[in-house]
Structure 1
Amino acid sequence: MKEIVEVVNNIVWSYALIGLCLAAGVYFSVRTRFLQVTYLKEMFKLLFKGESSEKGVSSFQAFAIAISGRVGTGNIAGVAMAIAMGGPGAVFWMWVIAFLGGASAFVESTLGQVFKEVNNGQYRGGPAYYIEKGLGVRWYAMLFAFATIISMTLLMPGVQSNSIALSVQNAFGVPVEYTGLIITFFLALIIIGGVKRISKVAEVVVPFMAAAYILMALVIIGANIAEVPGVLMVIIKSAFNLEAAFSGVFGMAIAWGVKRGIYSNEAGQGTAPHAAAAAEVSHPAKQGLVQAFSVYVDTLFVCTATALMILFTGQYNVINPEGGFIVEHLPGVAVGPEYTQYAVATHFPDLGSGFVAVSLLFFAFTTIMAYYYIAETNLSYLNRLQDRPWSLWALRIMILGATFYGTIKTAKVAWMLGDIGVGLMAWLNVIAILLLRKPAMKTFEDYRRQLKAGKDPVFKAKEAGVDNADFWK
């Protein structure tokens, strides 16, 4: 089983996918005139604009749902794994994919809004919707929807629950089975409440957990402020094979930086458009900009905070691809959240492990909530033509079962299954948004033109030259 999973993972996550994600980010950055920088002020302003309605959630609630999906295990255990497999240079490539991915995130989330529709009184949208309406290829849309349901309910929840269970066991000695039962029970209570309950929980929990974690990181960074230039130099030199100690993992730095960057910030993966489509806005580009900002929050803030804590304190190992270790500061410690727990414990011996465990509990739990919302949205897409009431309960049972199972299986298998899920979605979605570049750019130009004229942009599909955007007629 483990060998089969590893082979499939290596096929899905070949250098072709890494190159595709980087190329798409460069292309959309150039086409949007690097909106990641030029529209940064507008992103922040839009974050708190707009109200929720009976059919949709507010911009901030959609942002919170997306962030709850982006900010998860990848920000704590994922960063540790990137450093372990690719050395400090992997952090730089996480930054690169976040910067370029901001443009990809804008495009996919804007398309999610452009081609959204109302199903059962709620806004629904995402790659399956824009693939069918924008490209007119229903089989491709159904393939994405099916792949997403499998990824969100069976392949990816285990990574989150596994990291929760391991960190809680390391901090408090609680058996992983008990942790699995508890988080599965509370997850069931929330997902049965639907998207409104998910958005309400995410709106409260996400800002609190991110702020607390970043505050702790700032305290540790402040205590090591004199070392900042040196650590940044090691990251940059390692990224370009200029640091002799890590020259053996140069290629791995790029691969693992991009891989863990996408896993963490989800730019181009096709997850954020589902939350983006649920927002009540007057123009699709507004939610596109908000979702682009969420990539920054995830990687440039939370992931960087984790990386600096680990590197400042030296609480990490770097694995030699040929066997053994290039660096071994933590003998006998497996790759995962323990790196971050040891890093925080260096400065706060009585608090470190417990604080990271609680942070990871919030991060990962809200991520599983977001996974359920995404899976439900794709199920709604598949059920548009034929109502299947039993399928919703099947979906819930699948994600609850995978969440519990993830707590008792090995971390390596959990991560490989999660990587397969991310990779499958990324392949299907990045190709789709490249094919849909014309309606995406027309929508962006329409927004830019109205903004330049001093207007609060309002989208009218016909005037913008976008076809099949039925909601915006």
Structure 2
Amino acid sequence: MEGFFNSINKIFEFIVPVADFLWDFPTNFQWYSNIPIIGKFSLAILLLVGSGIYFTFKMGFVQCTKFKKGIKILAEKKSHEAGISPLASFLLSSAMRIGPGNIVGVTGAISVGGPGAIFWMWVSAFFGMATAFVEAVLAQIFKEKKDDEFVGGLPFYGMKILGNKRAIGIVLAVLFIVYAMFCIPAQTFNIVTSLSSVVETITGTVYERQSLLYYAITILLIASVVVTVFKGINGVTKVTDKLVPIMAIVYVGITLVIIIFNLDKVPVFFTAVFAGAFKPQAIFGGAFGVALAQGIKRGLMSNEAGQGTITMAAATADTDHPVEQGLVQALGVFLDTMVIATMTGIVVVMASLWAAESGVAWESIKGSKLTVYLTSVQYLIPGTAFDSIATIIISLCYGLFAFTTLLGMILFAEISGNFISKSKKCINTIRSLGAFIFVPFGCLTVLSGLELGNLWYISDLVNILVVYANVPILLLGCKIVFKALDNYNSTKGAKFNSLDIGIETPCWGNYGIDDYKEEKEVSM
């Protein structure tokens, strides 16, 4: 078994340098990397941040001016004949956003760039809210109806904006499906190992990977995924509607308890973050650009603004106006980075394990992000009964983060697959690939005691390709969003018709021009 997996891992060895090159381009060229500050940023990061800044100014800081309106939309209870509610769509997208990266990704950014990385993470999230708004509005405008559901997202609006060529949409759909499928094994690995860690903490026993415990978790996980994903959008949202609020509240709650244990260290956190943002400590290289690059990169990778991954969730909602879902998805970035990811940052910075007085061998643990985080928790609550409780709760949250992300990957792959074909056969094939192939594959790697680094790099490769595809499409299509926002403001959020902004779409302008003109005349 081990030889089989190692062979598979070796086959994908060539992916590693390709993915690294694309993510780092053009920082991997000396002439570029020598440029002060800018030379620290890859093209992908510049595209994501630059587009966010552009959208923010063009839309008059919509993420601020309509922040309260977004919350009001989430709180409203309206009946809907098709699709899901804005709140359910918000929770579905949050299931993807709030993943293990909120713990290990943020911890990694601090470990490399220092506490100042958190400040730049906040900055990237602020502008990322505008990017999330744009892609969500486009997903809503160009969504399509399937039975009593809505489907849409990057393949759908990508096709329309890039010349209405179906081949382009198919390429984008396949690209996202490949990305989603190859992300599944890593999330499976996180789920199995986190749940086993919980059992080990409770029992005080270390279990072998081939033990009954690991097999039981594997069977339970596969069964849970199968039962959920084959119920489609409504089945998955029933799970995410419950799990996302629970895991977010529990994670924030446990962090607040840790903060109460260490109130004297709160000023240390803010001092370290703001001072480190512009003058990092020597242990982190002392370079301003490192903190800046790490914070922005990890912020964007965590909240996924601009990556096209949440557009499938945005399209599923039944709203009166596409802008409403844009406001909702902007709040998703806020929740992910400003709240959940910040909680992780507070714990890691307050512990400051890199400081000599901590007594922790920083160099020996900094390579493992989860170890750094869990050690930080234990350092802040030493020798108390709460120590084990906190470890158990955080491990459960980590596992839940991974589980909801896994469900989101399969569902969003399914929604993308609807662009290729809405037939039951096509959709069930995608569900089966996720539930019966990639989830079990991830479980088998755990049972074999392996971490297939090369294989996981495929998701990194496809992710950067999605970024390079999605952001230019957003820049080309943003004028449609600007018109929709102007329409929303002028009509005070009245029922939208795409003909008002000069385009005809499947769900927003689906009746004849004559009927539309007659209705407009009557209303006048």
TM-score (norm 1): 0.89
Q: How does 1:358-437 map to 2 (within 5 A)?
A: 358-384=396-422, 388=426, 391-392=429-430, 393-405=432-444, 407=446, 408-410=449-451, 413=454, 416-437=457-478
Q: Does 1:10 align with 2:30?
A: no
How far off its partner does 1:93 sit? 2.3
Match of 1:146 in 2: 174
Contact 1:163 / 1:336 at 8 angstroms: preserved in 2? no
How far off its partner does 1:37 sit? 1.2
How far off its partner does 1:219 sit? 1.6
How far off its partner does 1:350 sit? 2.0
Q: How does 1:455-466 map to 2 (within 5 A)?
A: 456-465=493-502
Letter in 1 for 2:499: K
Match of 2:76 in 1: 49
CA distance in 1, matches of 2:375, 2:177: 36
Per-residue CA distance 1:256-290 (angstroms, 9 max, x = gap): 32332222111111111111111111100001100
How far off its partner does 1:129 sit? 0.4
Match of 1:20 in 2: 47
How far off its partner does 1:409 sit? 3.7
Contact 1:191 / 1:372 at 8 angstroms: preserved in 2? yes
**Match for residue 448 of structure 1 among 478, 489, 510:** 489
How far off its partner does 1:91 sit? 1.9
CA distance in 2, matches of 1:223, 1:413: 41
Q: Does 1:470 align with 2:511?
A: no
Distance 1:330-1:312 versus aligned 2 partners, 3 A rule: farther
Contact 1:163 / 1:411 at 8 angstroms: preserved in 2? no
**Match for residue 261 of structure 1 among 279, 293, 299:** 299
CA distance in 1, matches of 2:438, 2:147: 22
Per-residue CA distance 1:74-106 (angstroms, 9 max, x = gap): 111221222223322222222122111000000
Match of 2:339 in 1: 301
How far off its partner does 1:249 sit? 5.7
How far off its partner does 1:218 sit? 1.2
Q: Spell out structure 1 runs of 4+ moving beyond 6 A.
A: none
Contact 2:84 / 2:149 at 8 angstroms: preserved in 1? no
Match of 2:107 in 1: 80
Gaps of 5+ in 1: 319-326
Match of 1:324 in 2: none
How far off its partner does 1:16 sit? 0.6
Contact 1:263 / 1:419 at 8 angstroms: preserved in 2? no
How far off its partner does 1:126 sit? 0.1
Identity percentage of aligned residues: 30
Larger Rg: 2
Letter in 1 for 2:271: M
Per-residue CA distance 1:105-158 (angstroms, 9 max, x = gap): 00000110000011244200101100112332433322211110001112x123
Letter in 1 for 2:414: E
Q: How does 1:231-242 map to 2 (within 5 A)?
A: 231-242=269-280
Gaps of 5+ in 2: 1-9, 25-41, 201-205, 510-524
Q: How does 1:63-462 map to 2 (within 5 A)?
A: 63-135=90-162, 136-154=164-182, 156-171=183-198, 172=200, 173-175=206-208, 177-178=214-215, 179-248=217-286, 250-315=288-353, 328-329=361-362, 331-332=364-365, 334-346=367-379, 347=381, 348-384=386-422, 388=426, 391-392=429-430, 393-405=432-444, 407=446, 408-410=449-451, 413=454, 416-451=457-492, 456-462=493-499
TM-score (norm 2): 0.81
CA distance in 1, matches of 2:119, 2:367: 23
SS at match of 2:495: coil
SS at match of 1:94: helix
* Residue correspondences, number: 459
Contact 1:145 / 1:382 at 8 angstroms: preserved in 2? yes
Per-residue CA distance 1:243-264 (angstroms, 9 max, x = gap): 3342356444333323322221
Contact 1:157 / 1:418 at 8 angstroms: preserved in 2? no
Match of 2:521 in 1: none
Q: CA RMSD in A?
A: 2.6
SS at match of 2:83: coil
Per-residue CA distance 1:356-400 (angstroms, 9 max, x = gap): 111111111011111111100111111159964663334543442
CA distance in 2, matches of 1:418, 1:317: 35
Letter in 2 for 1:432: I
CA distance in 1, matches of 2:291, 2:172: 29
Per-residue CA distance 1:377-429 (angstroms, 9 max, x = gap): 11111115996466333454344245425645427557644433432222211
Match of 1:323 in 2: none
Between 1:127-136 and 1:287-296, the stretch displaced more is: 127-136
Letter in 2 for 1:56: G
Contact 1:317 / 1:330 at 8 angstroms: preserved in 2? no
Distance 1:300-1:343 versus aligned 2 partners, 3 A rule: same
CA distance in 1, matches of 2:139, 2:122: 25
Letter in 2 for 1:107: V
